[in-house]
Amino acid sequence: MTHQFDVIIVGAGGAGLRAAVEIGGQYSCAVLTKVHPLRSHTGAAQGGVCAALGNLEEDNPEWHAFDTIKGSDYLGDQDAIEVMCNDAPRAVIELEHMGMPFSRTAEGKIAQRQFGGHTRPLDRDDPDSKRVAVQRACYSADRTGQAMLNTLYENSLKNNVRFFSEFFVTELLYADGVASGVVAIEILTGEIHVFHAKAVMFATGGDGRIWRITSNAHVGTGDGFMLAYNAGLPLEDMEFMQFHPTGLWKLGILVSEAARGEGGILRNKDGERFMERYAPTVKDLAPRDMVSRAIIQEIREGRGIKGSDGTEYVLLDLTHLDIKIITEKIPEIVGFARTYLGVEPTKEGVPVQPTAHYVMGGIPTDVDGRVRLDHKDGIVKGFYAAGECACVSVHGANRLGTNSLLDLIVFGRRGGKAIVEFLKSGAEFAPLPPNAGEATKSKTVEIKSRTSGNKPAPLRTEMQQLMMDDCGIFRDAKGLQSALDRIGELREKYKTVVIDDKGNQFNTDLLEAIELGNLLDTAQLVVTCALNRTETRGGHAREDFPDRDDHNWLKHTFASKNGDGNPRLEYRPVAITKYQPKKRVY
């Protein structure tokens, strides 16, 4: 079956929906999503969306930009960061006008709270002066992402956006620098659909399911990355994965930074507030990469707490917080602790450990969401990306908390506006490839017809564990090379992947098998880029190269598909406007 729309958006999280709101009502727009839009992973974002509104204390976008640049370990493109931070107040107020139910101050303004890495200088005229935490995160209790998702979905419906829920996209239709649509499997029926469009936007989220302990939803399998990569387009900075410091022990379920923003304290087995040693000024509100490494360091040095399964954790102490703060500002966080671990946060510490959370790299774009053709300045005609699957790059080597939701609404909107301008310029439907959908059909038939081979689950489990062991918070050449070799073996085994369900309706066996292929290919790319970058920067910590190396590595990695199955690596310089790289201290 073939469908035709002016615009196809793949992914119904915050970025995809914000673009859809911009496009709908003017042009025909369809959104394809593996799940129902309100189940998109944006709904898991808890703590807030940052903007220098200054509702509770003085703030300005320049300070926000400085924090983002410093937080990125100076790998973020400063021109793009300035665009995001300057646009943040407007973007948040616009959401408010759409109906997003923000928490409020006593005066009725949007409430704001502290978040890791967000600061203001004590001397307002000197950004290098001592800095203290600032209340910059706008929030809706600890359900900010879900409130944003609901608001944007309702506005998309109002703007006549068409939704194709539970459609799994398997091909990007792209040739000669032009995107013409996508191919998708309708999960309900197993039918293959071709979507023909003048413009395509990817807002497909991240790849956290490569790791065993992750905060990511089960849909976070790196599909968008591999669809672009396999079409011949590059991916940028895939070595940089952020581990959020506070995932629930064993499970990885996110315990938002909002808990520390409201006064929560990390403690080791001795009850010590250990972050005072690692970040004496901002303590528990240091950037995520630093807090995650500090937790692992505490465990390595014998100050972790051993759990029943032999793994170790530290405690997030909320017992000193006022009950009103707990019930009104972080109810979901304490609810998770009670439900999943049987812990009462008002009386005892919550066991936490770092969890794979957010990929800073992705499909390279400019500030208007237009996908880059290469590591230079080429642009793909009719192809856009936004959100976690895209790399603008505003997060560099380490994303600050609450900058993810901001990224969605700023660059989702800008991408949507750029698509509208592209359509207004007279864009037409590029011809579909004559064999559109045949590759998907062949793959599904091959997997379902196979009667012997390797089951997906054991391959996936092995991949996730080796990524935790050898490509986690700390890395070195020996472990990365071992991981790369083992992933190669798993990719070979995947060639004979076999499933039990041979049917068409809701064949989740088939979907998980296809997703596993995307995960394995993405894992190979992540490890290759990590092995190649011989320095420590942000979320990429090489124990055999413990220092940041600005002389050799102040540049973005661009990985493209090679004929031999290994990525071809090229580089693009970091855009620096105002702030020269300095040592990160907090």
Asked whether residue 349 is domain-assigned, the answer is yes
Q: What is the mean pLDDT of residues 429-453?
A: 94
In this model, does residue 130 exceed pLDDT 90? no
Closest CA relative to residue 353, chosen from 290, 405, 295 = 295
Whether residue 447 sits in one domain with residue 348: no
pLDDT score at 306: 94
* Exposure class string for 172-197: b at 16+ Cβ within 10 A, else e: bbbeeeebbbbbbbbbeeeebbbbbb
What are the CA-CA distances from residue 43 to residues 38, 46, 84, 188, 204 (Å)? 7, 8, 21, 23, 14
Q: Which one-letter amino acid corresponds to residue 490?
A: L
Contact partners, residue 57, CB within 8 Å, separation at least 6: 120, 134, 135
Asked whether residue 494 is domain-assigned, the answer is yes
Closest CA relative to residue 361, chosen from 557, 171, 218 = 557
Q: Max alpha carbon distance in the chain (Å)?
A: 70
Whether residue 469 sits in one domain with residue 561: yes
DSSP states along 81-115: HHHHHHHHHHHHHHHHHHT----B-TTSSBPEEEE
pLDDT category at 127 given cuts 50, 70, 90 is: low
CATH number at residue 324: 3.90.700.10
d(CA 7, CA 464): 35
Whether residue 566 sits in one domain with residue 471: yes
Catalytically annotated residues: 288
Whether residue 569 sits in one domain with residue 450: yes
What are the CA-CA distances from residue 97 to residues 102, 151, 492 (Å)? 11, 10, 52
Average pLDDT, the chain: 95
pLDDT score at 563: 79
d(CA 563, CA 2): 31
Asked whether residue 325 is domain-assigned, the answer is yes
Whether residue 446 sits in one domain with residue 339: no
- Of 335, 356, 377, which one is at a domain's C-terminal end? 356
Asked whether residue 147 is domain-assigned, the answer is no
Give the burial class of 246: count Cβ atoms within 10 A of its Cβ; 0-12 exposed, 13-18 middle, 19 or more buried: buried
CATH number at residue 452: 1.20.58.100
In this model, does residue 437 exceed pLDDT 70? yes
pLDDT category at 178 given cuts 50, 70, 90 is: very high
- Of 309, 329, 356, which one is at a domain's C-terminal end? 356
The total number of residues shown for the chain amounts to 586
pLDDT category at 125 given cuts 50, 70, 90 is: confident
Q: What is the mean pLDDT of residues 3-27?
A: 97
Whether residue 342 sits in one domain with residue 443: no
Place of tokens 């692992």: 296
Name the domain count of the chain. 2
Asked whether residue 342 is domain-assigned, the answer is yes
pLDDT score at 129: 78
In this model, does residue 30 exceed pLDDT 80? yes
Whether residue 324 sits in one domain with residue 446: no
- Of 333, 356, 379, which one is at a domain's C-terminal end? 356
Q: What is the mean pLDDT of residues 30-45?
A: 94
In this model, does residue 126 exceed pLDDT 80? no
Closest CA relative to residue 404, chosen from 209, 171, 117 = 117
DSSP states along 435-484: TTTHHHHHHHHHHHH--SSB-HHHHHHHHHHHHHHHSSSEE-HHHHHHHH
pLDDT category at 305 given cuts 50, 70, 90 is: very high
The answer to whether the peptide bond before residue 28 is cis (omega within 30 degrees of 0) is no
In this model, does residue 12 exceed pLDDT 80? yes
Q: What is the mean pLDDT of residues 292-307?
A: 96
Q: pLDDT by residue (tens digit) across 489-520? A: 999 999 999 999 999 999 999 999 999 999 99
Q: What are phi and psi of 90, to 5 degrees?
A: -65, -40
In this model, does residue 128 exceed pLDDT 80? no
Contact partners, residue 402, CB within 8 Å, separation at least 6: 47, 48, 49, 50, 115, 118, 136, 137, 257
pLDDT category at 104 given cuts 50, 70, 90 is: very high
Q: What is the mean pLDDT of residues 271-298?
A: 95
Asked whether residue 564 is domain-assigned, the answer is yes
Share of the chain above pLDDT 70, in %: 100
In this model, does residue 187 exceed pLDDT 90? yes
Asked whether residue 534 is domain-assigned, the answer is yes
pLDDT category at 100 given cuts 50, 70, 90 is: very high
pLDDT score at 464: 97
Give the distance, in angstroms, between the CA of residue 506 and the centroid of all CA atoms in the same chain. Answer: 27
Q: What is the mean pLDDT of residues 278-282?
A: 93
Give the distance, in angstroms, between the CA of residue 154 and the centroid of all CA atoms in the same chain. Answer: 23
In this model, does residue 565 exceed pLDDT 90? no
Query: Which two three-digit tokens encode residue 506?
Result: 């809701």
pLDDT category at 486 given cuts 50, 70, 90 is: very high
d(CA 66, CA 57): 18
The answer to whether the beta carbons of residues 535 and 548 sit under 8 Å apart is yes
Asked whether residue 498 is domain-assigned, the answer is yes
Whether residue 450 sits in one domain with residue 340: no
Q: Which domain holds residue 566?
A: 438-573
Number of Cβ within a 10 Å radius of residue 503: 11
Q: Is the dihedral of CA 70, 76, 79, 83 positive or negative?
A: negative
Q: pLDDT by residue (tens digit) across 39-59? A: 999 998 989 999 999 999 999
The residue that leads in pLDDT, 313 or 258, is 313
SS3 (DSSP) at 396: coil
